[in-house]
Structure 1
Amino acid sequence: MRLHRNLVFATIDSLHLIFNEGKQADKVLKNTLKLDKRWGSRDRGFIAETTYDIVRWKRLYAEIADVNEPFDRTNLFRLFTVWATLRGIKIPDWPQFESTPTRRIKGRFDELSKIRKIRESIPDWLDEVGSKELGKKWDKELAALNQLAPVVLRVNTLKSNVLEVKNQLADLDVETTAAKGVPNALVLKERSNVFTTDAFKNGWFEVQDANSQKVAIMLDAKPGQRIIDACAGAGGKSLHIAEMMENKGQLISLDIYESKLKELKRRAKRNGAFNIETRVIDTTKVIKKLHGTADKVLIDAPCSGLGVLKRNPDTKWKMQPDFLDRIRTLQQQLLRDYSKMVKEDGEFMYATCSILPSENELQVKEFLASEEGATFEIKKENKVSPSATGFDGFYMALMKRKKK
């Protein structure tokens, strides 16, 4: 592979914004990739994948390159050199690479790979938390979370079907395979920008991880029900629920961020999902008005996001130890407050994209032991492991309100 100056420089600029200015990787890349209209899909792919790779392996590469944060431009080029050398890419004789000792890189890599927290490139405190909560399983999960995330589609049956989407994409040389146990999921064999296809623009599919799709499947929404998605965000799961309801009944999508709900409305229009009503949680009255009104309530709770690290590798560098304590307190509060929206004999689902028991089954156990949770019992529970499935890590628990 021959390195092109403008692509390497765009990668270095992106890394500076992510590492030194604390910007979100996905947003940085969204802006970077718009900078030069002459870049083709391969050029954009190089910038995005190289940037994400260096973000993912920041600690390992920094140890090999012997550099510390904040990274100046010379340090960023040293990180890039480590990335390129480990992939067998020849370093060009540009002035920026003059001070990078490439000979020692592979030896340092072998030496440092013996230490888990450096090999898997994770902060000390997070490695300790994972090891404490998951024991021997942590090694496998951590290795899986450092793999590149597959691109998975969820076919929107309001507008199309699996065979139609599969054939439409095959005509564009985009090959897909089924995902076991997830009926309307298609996994791309190779990464491709599916957002430019007519099938996407016409609302035939959304991009959504296979394990994420299992949340709405377990909720098992039915046409004609009244369902509340209490932490809807930009609406990936709301759209899936609306599709399962066949546009019949009422789906109320709640969130504290109006901007996210606007994005949900835009996506719903493209999907042909017309039974969604969005409401901003700007006061506690919004929840109180809905007490005892829903057949089913979903809390896709805010969490550490550890289960989706392969998709958002910069999360591990931005998260601080006290964040976990704060998020667990919030999760418990949401369980107690939002469960009140469930009717008698209705169902209540708690889900996270975390793999930590302290955010998952232990939260549900604590809720069921509380005054608010005493009227519920567990109906189903599913812990979805990245190492076992190759997809994101999720937890989901479906509870039923007992009859008085």
Structure 2
Amino acid sequence: MRDVDAAGLGIGDGYPTRVMGVLNVSSESPYKPSVFDDAAEAAAYVDEELVDEGADIVDVGLESANKRFEVLSAEEELDRLDVALETIESTSGDAIWSIETRYHEVAEAAIEGGFDMVNDIAGFADPKLPDVCAEYDVAVAKMASPPDLKRPGAVEETPWAERKGAEWAESADYVDQVYEALKQNGLTDKTIVDPAFGGWSEAQTTEQDRETLRRLREFRGLGQPILVSINRKNFLRELTGRSTEEALAVSLAATSMAIERGAHVVRTHDVRETVDACAVGDAFTPTRFRGTVGGADDVTVEELDVQTEGDVSRHVERVGTADVAGDAIRAVFEVSGLTATQAESLAAAASDAGAVFAAGDDADGAGLLVGSHRALRRLAGRTPEDDALAGVLDAVGDAVA
């Protein structure tokens, strides 16, 4: 996993989760407390409500990303940039400044004016934008999106059959599409990937967002830090029936979960509370080894954060190895109620398949069945005549399918 240096701010596994607070200079943006058209008022908001509350990054939006509004042109965004540049000059807090734009002209003008980072919600649909970021050596957040400047985030609208083939398009699920959308148009060395949570198209569902969060760890397979923007979004509010105003608790719960699943930057309007949620997420995220070995700086070892075969498969694709996903993930099942004879039969069959069944000492016929998913699938493929054992193997097979 690559760490990213954003103007001196480290982002990645080797650093605490970073909080990105939001400032909008777009009158149409729905979250009115963050919207300003006066630089002095905006600067006061940044200092008091964002930086003083713990924001590491200030993300400035020049227009609303709401799909109901017309997309601004680069010239229209540039007209709004002046307020943002004046705001930087008027703030006293210490934070990294990020400009949200899909246009390379706006990104370059913002960087020249003092911005440290770019947040592109159109997924490098402007092919010159990553070149600008690389030229100025700035970090850039890239949100999953079709190659269309006017349809940010709507990954389902990508012509997948043309890009990946009809067979892939037929079999791919939504998370597969998001993953591939992030790969489109490449990644710079300082790219932070954003899986595009939150209703970017009419076709996107709240369940798809929830599945993306469940499988967030898969996006570590891209080898870049991950940004999530989940604050008060519908896919969380729907779980509890809360309004936007009442949705802080679900946002904070999901934030800690996202960090445990691999998020490195959290974009939010609720900075102080999110800082606390990040502290909890960081505290309970396992530490994994990463470093050089044997004094050879060019030889490194990194323990990957994987829990499912899907997680491993993404790394297999990136590194280009044989498919070891089925061997990498292990499962443990407790089986009880077996007779001594059945336990012996299961132990023998497990051993033949490359798994292990260890019977317990008690008389209730309990034991632990342990093995890689691949070994357990081999075991499940056997057809014992004993109905109870056949049922055990069917259940195990279904679980690791």
TM-score (norm 1): 0.27
Q: Which has the higher helix share?
A: 1
Pick the structure with greater CA Rg: 2
